[in-house]
Amino acid sequence: MSGASSRLRVLILDSGRQALPFMRSLKTAKHHVAVACGSKFSPCYFSRYPDRRLLWANYFEDPDTFTEQMFRYIRRYRPDVTIPVGDVSAGIVARNKQELLKYTRVTVPELKVFDRAADKAKTMAFCMENDIPCPKTFFPDEENLEDIVVKTPFPVMVKPRRGIGAIGLHRFEGPDELRRHFGALRERYGELLIQEFIPLEGGTQFQAEAFLDADSRMKVCMVIAKPRFFPVTGGTSTANVTIHRPDIQENVRRLLEGIGWIGAADVDLMLDPRDNVPKILEINPRVTAGIKIGFAAGIDYADLHIRLALGQSIPKIDSYKLGVYSRNLCMDILWYLFSEKKARRSAWPPFFKFFGKSVCYQTFDLYDLMPLAGFILGMLKKYASPAVWKKKLGRDLD
């Protein structure tokens, strides 16, 4: 930390791997840290850094109970700062921001702004209205679906307007296939959008980790290339590397400042090989799950959150360490097992580059060894279900 404040009581509402570097930074600054855990199998429950581990309801499964527990704790203990670092927790805080501000300080925008970022249709509409590069996007319902099908070249991508990661994302090769499945997908995932397909061959994916001050001025924008995924056709990134892309930074600034964002946002992009332009896919209204790469590159995102919460000035950070290689090792091993030999041989950064000053791991840390055990146990519990494997391998339309 850079001395943004005296000792504070900080509540972190997420217990996944993105919270680990936050807790380490906050404890280095001698703050008191409490973390809400939805399971004893979460990485943060195993970490040495929290002063208090709170076993609350899993907000994916029971957001109402989680919200009740959050309010009960905050009203009783009055933490100085409450930090959500995940999509769901950030949404809960945004919806309850005005009431929470009576007891604690938070780092999320007003609900109207949060909703504009979380809704992929609103994000794409803003990009198209302001000439910010993005895939051509259509907003279908039962009445206009046929018009869209007639006008749109295939293949197309269909995704929920709201969602996390690749959940609900489907590729359709032709109009008959889309017509056949559209109703079921809409019933399952809610409102959908249809986007032109950007070819995967040569279509490198990126993400930009931005941070904006209370006046919606972008102060930080770290750009990351995402060379590997599991499933291998697109899903959770398993390896990331910091790069320099001023063109991406400028378009992300135009988008986030344009919608009035404050705090942390993760913007996903994909390089379109047809015109060599990175195109914005969505805003994730949170820090990325692999935010440890930012700390390794020299950006203390925990300090930025504390400064924003306390109303302090946010320093502008124009440079960060390039070539930092961050790995989700468990998922990267799955990538290796399921990828083609050609992809393994040409992998960049190399799969077998396990050590070095520029290499870090999202969950593993020599100073905090046990969260890796929690992550592995959680993964084993999750992937023990055949239904999860079926979904991960893209067979949920069978």
Q: Is the pLDDT of residue 398 over 50?
A: no
Sorted by where each begins, the domain ranges of the chain are: 9-108, 136-197, 205-376
Return the half-sphere exposure (C-beta side, CA atoms, 13 A cut-off) of residue 348. Answer: 6
Residue with tokens 């590069």: 133
397: exposed, middle or buried (Cβ count in 10 Å: 0-12, 13-18, 19+): exposed
* Confidence label for 1 from pLDDT (cuts 50, 70 and 90): very low
Fold of 9-108: Rossmann fold (3.40.50)
Enter the CATH code of domain 205-376. Answer: 3.30.470.20
User: Considering the entire predicted model, what is its pTM?
Assistant: 0.89
Looking at 35-44, 144-153, 218-227, which range is the least confident one?
Answer: 144-153
β-sheet bridge partners, residue 11 = 34, 82
| Residue recorded with tokens 């570097």 | 21
List for the chain the helix, strand, coil content (%; round to 5).
Answer: 35, 20, 40
Give the list of residues 6+ apart from residue 336 with CB closer than 8 angstroms, or none: 344, 351
Superfamily designation of domain 136-197: ATP-grasp fold, A domain (3.30.1490.20)
pLDDT digits (tens, 9 = 90+) for 180-217: 999 999 999 999 999 999 887 656 899 999 999 999 99
The answer to whether 293 touches 206, Cβ cutoff 8 Å, is no
Of 193-207, 246-260, 370-384, the one with minimum mean pLDDT is: 370-384
